[in-house]
Structures are given as structure tokens and as C-alpha cells.
Homo-oligomer: A and B are copies of this chain.
């Protein structure tokens, strides 16, 4: 099908300038991609009216302050059509200028290939890996409700200054990714009335017509999730093959968006049927137009269709820009009115206002960690997951911004703050879980990936700090979102329990082997594996004191001995925050020296081995290394004080793959590790069978000497 001409139905307040502005968007999209020679012009062209409607007419936001807390949020889940966003940011005056569009996808520009959070004003979240944005938007909508519950729970629906809408634009690709399915199902359960997803159903992806891979009735699927579903069809499928049938019914979309806003008991899904790259005469409705420059001829032809000068590039009429930049004044007025309301709220709610101010800066309150538990020395000890649960319980009253839950493993992950209500629509409560829409305990269901994307959305939305739990082995399921948390430097915390073959009976599919190494490979992620209960406390302290990066805490299923801190030569946990520290020096300091470096549940093996070595006259230092990233950030002097360069005999012990440990132990060192999959049996047996014993560590130490 090729549709060379079409028509449009505009809202009543739509002027000639609006129409011209929309066509300007299309021309800019084609020009920007053509200039750099690569990129995604098609969707930015066909979605021009939708994006313009949202940014100029529907959303409440202020180009002058992209961080205004009262703004509606916009998530471009289909990040490849970055121009859809950039051009609106330019037209609306959010900080981008024409030169920025001209430098699309080039070094150091404000307009990288995909929108990057923290890089370009007005980009709410980094998107590009498909499906994530829908999960982020769900998280934002959840965060908005939780924040409202903290700050203004008594206000009537729609009457709070903390009420706003989350808009998400999604593509055929987003719709296919499992993470969006997971998040959308949960959004239905959560009745997120503040969320609207617009699905650009152009039925073209990189392999062209999506019929080869996507034939589902997506609208019906979203109805099954419990969403409010509308379809706005610009393609007119009842007569799709005819010419002159494409009708950009902007008014219908406006009405649908308004109806979506008014539906407050369910998230809204608007399937918007479009023709990609419309009205490019030849490129429209092709996979090529999705991800390639149109070519000079087609760009020119498109300009002619739209009444633009084919000889000019980046043509923006002055009156068009003046018209669209009027958004700055409207936005300023919106925010000013909100500010006045906010001032009244502050005065009426001094305590909440203080919390709001603190959270806005991500500052921790004085004495926030005063009540944290300490654990008595105990040979039998306690599982670090359990210690973690106690920490969370103690933090509950001090840190209202902290909230989280689990992907259906609450009791195993010890992620529930005791006594705190669940974050649930009232009618979703169960015998086991009481709660309310402003609750605190999150139930993600068996959806690790959505959990990750949702946590990211929560963290970018406002001042709350989310955590989420699953088994360490299932960090794989959420890995794309973990990476994005690190890329965006978001302070989210992953609680990954059952962190080794120590998981025992569930066997190889559930026993992480490569996961610690694989997670450490992610730039900007702190991987923290505490050795005992008290290290777990200190680990949480350190993690929460960082606000510029995510962390994953790897915790044991099995009990670990609690070391006698500050007595008998054992260090306190003060230096846990430094990533590694001397837990204890064994032996008389004479004779040969060896450094034994352990993490988590294997530190006890290093201790036991050191005792054996000391009995043989070898001075063995045990270093606990809960976080390699934190240790790497220490200065040389501190690192030398922990692992002296002169001591070449070194052993690392960690129940994971050896990868990465050579950097620590050096050429002369030995690595006690596991480079194959685990087995189903009780954990003591598994550890012994796979060589995780004090004897093996001691033997490795002798070998290293």
C-alpha cells in the first residue's frame, strides 16, 4: 500500500501554525537523519502529530524547568525514534536548538542515538533497549502513587498537587518484549489510573511487515490485563488498500487521551494505528524507513508533499517556532500556579514538607542508622539474608523513602519490612498481605525483569528508594534493567539471595556460578557480598549512603558464623564501606606470609584455613572483600595496607567462577573457585564435593608460597 495523500482532522483549537509545526517535525526528522547518514526517521515522521499533541496541548510541563516535580512524565519506550522527543524538546524550548538536531548521533552532542537520562534536559529515562520504557513508566506511575501517599494522602483523587500523568509511547517492538508484558500485567493488577500507554501500531519493524512475527490482538491482550483500552485508527483498515485513506485524526487521539486521563481506576492503552514514515511517498510503510536515512530524493519528495522547499534543509519558519515556544510561557504559568499551591501545602504540612525536601535531595536523616542491629558472635550464626531482613525492618521507621519487595520470593529474600502494608489496591489484599494503594511492600509477582525496569522508573520519578529481591541466579532475568540502572546511575538496590551453590537442593538451575563475575563486569554496579550478619548491616549502610549508583547485595541462604567483631583480633565492620579490609591476622607475624581473600560465605573458610596455617607457623592474613568496586575506589595506600604488594602468596576463595580473581591474587596466587555447574544436594555436601573446604584453601595457600 502506498498512500500519497491524506487528510487530517484537528482539534478545534488547532491552528494553521500547529499543522505547519507538525509538518516541520517531519521535515526535521528526515533532514536530521539524512545529515548524519543513519538513524530512525520513519516513526518520528508519522508520530509527529501525536508527539506534538502531547507536548504542546496535553501534557502539563514547563520547558524552563524539566525537573518540576508536578510535571507529567513522558517516556519514549521506543528510544530509537529519539527524534520524536528531541524535536519536541526543540520546538517547546526545553533546551535543544536547531544545531543540536543537526548534530544528531555525533560525538558529544545533546542528541545521541537514543535518549539518555542525565545527558539531555527533558529526557526522563534512558530508553532504547525495547520494552524497558513501558516498565519504567509503570514504575513511575507506582512511584507517583507512593509519593502521594507519603505527602498528600488525604486529597481527593485528582485534587492533589502530587497528581500527574505518566505518558508512554511504545512501538511494535516494545509490545513484543517480555518485560513489557510483565510490567503491563502488573500495572493492571495495580490499577494504575495515572498511566497512559500509546502504542504506535504501525506494524512495521526492522524485518518490515510485522505479520511474520506479530499477529496477536494486542488491544485484546491489554484488555485481558485489565487495562482501559481504546483504538484510534488513522489507517482506516476497513478500506486499507485504497488511496487517500490515511486520516490523521488528531482530534480522536485527543479525545482518547482525555478519556484515558479520566479513567482513574485502570491504566489506559491507546492503540494508535499509523503508517510509518507518512507522508514520504515511497518510504512510507517500509522497514527501511524505520532504521535508515530516506535518501536525498525521498527527503526532497517528502518536502514537496508537505509544501516545504526541497532545496532547504532544517527549515523552520520563525512564526512556527514562536508559536511552539509559547509553551515556555504556558509552562511557566503552570508551574507558578503549582508553586503557590505547594507553598500552601508546605505551610499546612511542615513535617511532610521536611520529608519532601530531604527526599528531593536524597539526603539521609540524621541518625538514620542509629538503630541498626548488631549481632553477637556466634559460631552457628545467621544467614545474611536474614540479617538483611532485620536491617530493613529497623530502617522502616527511619527511612520512609525506602520501599521494596520481591519477585514472589518475599520470605526467601527477607525483603519484607515487618508490619508494613503492601502497596496494593484495596481489593487485591489477601489473607497474607494487608495493604492499601499507598502501601510499602511491593509484590512484583514472578517477574524479575519488570521488577528491574519498575525500580528504575521509581528511582527516576522522585525521591523514594526502591529495592527488589530475587535469587541471585535470576539476576540474569533482570539483567538488561540492571545494566540500565548502572548506566543511569540510579540508587536502586537489588537484593539477591541464595547467592551460591550454598542454595543446596534446588540444584544447578538455581545455583549461581557465574553471576558474581558477570555482575561485576557491569560498569557502575556495586556488587556487595557480605561475610556475616554484621557485615550485612554495614553493607546496607554503605549502599544507602550512595545516591549515585545501584548496588546488588548477594546474600546467603545458609547460616554463616557471626565473627567476634572487635575482639580476639577480629576487625570491626567499620571498613566494610572500603570494599575490603583485614578481618584478622593469624599467626605470629613471623615466617612466611600469605593473604587469604574471601567474600561472603567463603570468608569463614579463609578463617578456618588461616587457623590451620598459623598452627603450622605460617602467618595468614584474612581479608574480607565484600565489594571489589568499593575497594578499587580506595587510594593506593589503603589498598596496600590491606593486600601488601610484597606478599605474593595469595589465595582467593569465592563460590563462583575464577574469572577476575587473577587481578587480585597475581601470578603467584591461587584461586579457589568453581568453573562448572552445581548439583542438587544439601549445601554442606555440595560445598565439600566441589572443594570449598578450609583444607582446600590451606592447601592452595601452601601451593602459593
**Is there a chain B Cβ closer than 8 Å to A476's Cβ?**
yes
Tell whether, in the assembled complex, residue B176 and residue A445 are in contact, meaning their CB atoms are under 8 Å apart: yes
**Is there a chain B Cβ closer than 8 Å to A408's Cβ?**
yes
Tell whether, in the assembled complex, residue B215 and residue A224 are in contact, meaning their CB atoms are under 8 Å apart: no
**Is there a chain B Cβ closer than 8 Å to A221's Cβ?**
yes
* Complex copy number for this chain: 2
Q: Chain B interface: which of A180-188, A241-249, A594-602, A633-641?
A: A180-188
**Is there a chain B Cβ closer than 8 Å to A172's Cβ?**
yes
**Set B410, B514, B666: member contacting A523, Cβ < 8 A:** B514
**Set B505, B508, B659: member contacting A520, Cβ < 8 A:** B659
**Set B127, B178, B216: member contacting A450, Cβ < 8 A:** B178
Find chain B residues with CB under 8 A from A112 CB.
507-508, 679-680
Range for the number of chain A residues in contact with chain B: 35 or more
CA distance A216 to B514 in the complex (A): 35
Find chain B residues with CB under 8 A from A409 CB.
206-207
**Is there a chain B Cβ closer than 8 Å to A92's Cβ?**
no
Q: A residues 627-655 with Cβ under 8 Å of B?
A: none
Minimum Cβ distance to chain B for residue A610 (Å): 24
Tell whether, in the assembled complex, residue B207 and residue A410 are in contact, meaning their CB atoms are under 8 Å apart: yes
Closest-by-CB residue of B relative to A479 is B476
Find chain B residues with CB under 8 A from A517 CB.
517-518, 521, 659
**Is there a chain B Cβ closer than 8 Å to A446's Cβ?**
yes
Contact with B along A91-128 (1 / 0, CB 8 A): 00000000000000111110011101000000000111
Q: A residues 7-21 with Cβ under 8 Å of B?
A: none
Known: A176-B182, A181-B181, A509-B129. A680 touches B208 (CB 8 A): no
**Is there a chain B Cβ closer than 8 Å to A314's Cβ?**
no
Q: A residues 442-478 with Cβ under 8 Å of B?
A: 443-447, 449-450, 473-474, 476-477
Q: Chain B interface: which of A143-151, A255-263, A393-401, A423-431?
A: A423-431
**Is there a chain B Cβ closer than 8 Å to A681's Cβ?**
yes
Closest-by-CB residue of B relative to A182 is B178
Q: Chain B interface: which of A355-363, A372-380, A480-488, A492-500?
A: A480-488
**Is there a chain B Cβ closer than 8 Å to A513's Cβ?**
yes
**Is there a chain B Cβ closer than 8 Å to A411's Cβ?**
yes
**Is there a chain B Cβ closer than 8 Å to A282's Cβ?**
no
Minimum Cβ distance to chain B for residue A480 (Å): 5
**Set B211, B476, B680: member contacting A483, Cβ < 8 A:** B476
Find chain B residues with CB under 8 A from A36 CB.
505
**Set B432, B675, B680: member contacting A109, Cβ < 8 A:** B680
Q: A residues 152-208 with Cβ under 8 Å of B?
A: 172-174, 176-182, 185-186, 188-189, 205-208
**Set B106, B408, B479: member contacting A213, Cβ < 8 A:** B408
Find chain B residues with CB under 8 A from A211 CB.
428-430
Tell whether, in the assembled complex, residue B128 and residue A506 are in contact, meaning their CB atoms are under 8 Å apart: yes
**Is there a chain B Cβ closer than 8 Å to A433's Cβ?**
yes
**Is there a chain B Cβ closer than 8 Å to A66's Cβ?**
no
Tell whether, in the assembled complex, residue A676 and residue B185 are in contact, meaning their CB atoms are under 8 Å apart: no
Minimum Cβ distance to chain B for residue A677 (Å): 6
Known: A79-B509, A107-B679, A182-B178. A432 touches B128 (CB 8 A): no
Closest-by-CB residue of B relative to A173 is B446
Tell whether, in the assembled complex, residue A408 and residue B206 are in contact, meaning their CB atoms are under 8 Å apart: yes
**Is there a chain B Cβ closer than 8 Å to A406's Cβ?**
yes
**Set B39, B449, B506: member contacting A178, Cβ < 8 A:** B449
Find chain B residues with CB under 8 A from A676 CB.
523-524
Closest-by-CB residue of B relative to A473 is B129
**Is there a chain B Cβ closer than 8 Å to A616's Cβ?**
no
Closest-by-CB residue of B relative to A481 is B476
Minimum Cβ distance to chain B for residue A270 (Å): 17
CA distance A129 to B209 in the complex (A): 33
**Is there a chain B Cβ closer than 8 Å to A38's Cβ?**
yes
Tell whether, in the assembled complex, residue A212 and residue B509 are in contact, meaning their CB atoms are under 8 Å apart: no
CA distance A412 to B288 in the complex (A): 12
Find chain B residues with CB under 8 A from A411 CB.
206-207
Find chain B residues with CB under 8 A from A659 CB.
517, 520-521, 659-660, 663
Find chain B residues with CB under 8 A from A42 CB.
none
Most chain B C-beta atoms within 10 Å of own C-beta, residue among A126, A223, A523: A523
Minimum Cβ distance to chain B for residue A265 (Å): 13
**Set B129, B178, B208, B677: member contacting A432, Cβ < 8 A:** B208
**Is there a chain B Cβ closer than 8 Å to A502's Cβ?**
no
Contact with B along A675-693 (1 / 0, CB 8 A): 1110111100110010000
Minimum Cβ distance to chain B for residue A687 (Å): 11
Closest-by-CB residue of B relative to A405 is B207
**Set B116, B510, B662: member contacting A128, Cβ < 8 A:** B510
**Set B188, B213, B221: member contacting A189, Cβ < 8 A:** B213
Tell whether, in the assembled complex, residue B216 and residue A189 are in contact, meaning their CB atoms are under 8 Å apart: yes
Most chain B C-beta atoms within 10 Å of own C-beta, residue among A180, A209, A213: A213
Tell whether, in the assembled complex, residue B176 and residue A446 are in contact, meaning their CB atoms are under 8 Å apart: yes
Most chain B C-beta atoms within 10 Å of own C-beta, residue among A406, A430, A444, A680: A680
Tell whether, in the assembled complex, residue B487 and residue A480 are in contact, meaning their CB atoms are under 8 Å apart: no
**Is there a chain B Cβ closer than 8 Å to A657's Cβ?**
yes
**Is there a chain B Cβ closer than 8 Å to A287's Cβ?**
yes
**Is there a chain B Cβ closer than 8 Å to A308's Cβ?**
no
Tell whether, in the assembled complex, residue B226 and residue A681 are in contact, meaning their CB atoms are under 8 Å apart: no
Tell whether, in the assembled complex, residue B480 and residue A477 are in contact, meaning their CB atoms are under 8 Å apart: yes
Minimum Cβ distance to chain B for residue A456 (Å): 13
Q: A residues 539-556 with Cβ under 8 Å of B?
A: none
Find chain B residues with CB under 8 A from A479 CB.
476-477, 479
Find chain B residues with CB under 8 A from A473 CB.
129
Minimum Cβ distance to chain B for residue A67 (Å): 22
Apart from A107-B680, A128-B506, A178-B179, what 19 extra A-B contacts exist at CB < 8 Å?
A105-B505, A107-B686, A113-B506, A128-B507, A131-B446, A178-B182, A181-B181, A189-B212, A205-B446, A207-B443, A216-B226, A220-B223, A223-B224, A224-B224, A487-B508, A487-B677, A514-B522, A660-B660, A666-B667
| Pairs across A and B, CB under 8 Å, 13 listed | A105-B681, A107-B679, A107-B685, A113-B505, A116-B508, A128-B506, A128-B507, A129-B473, A176-B445, A206-B408, A206-B409, A218-B224, A518-B518
Q: What 3 A-B pairs are tightest by C-beta distance, nearest first?
A: A178-B178, A213-B445, A112-B680
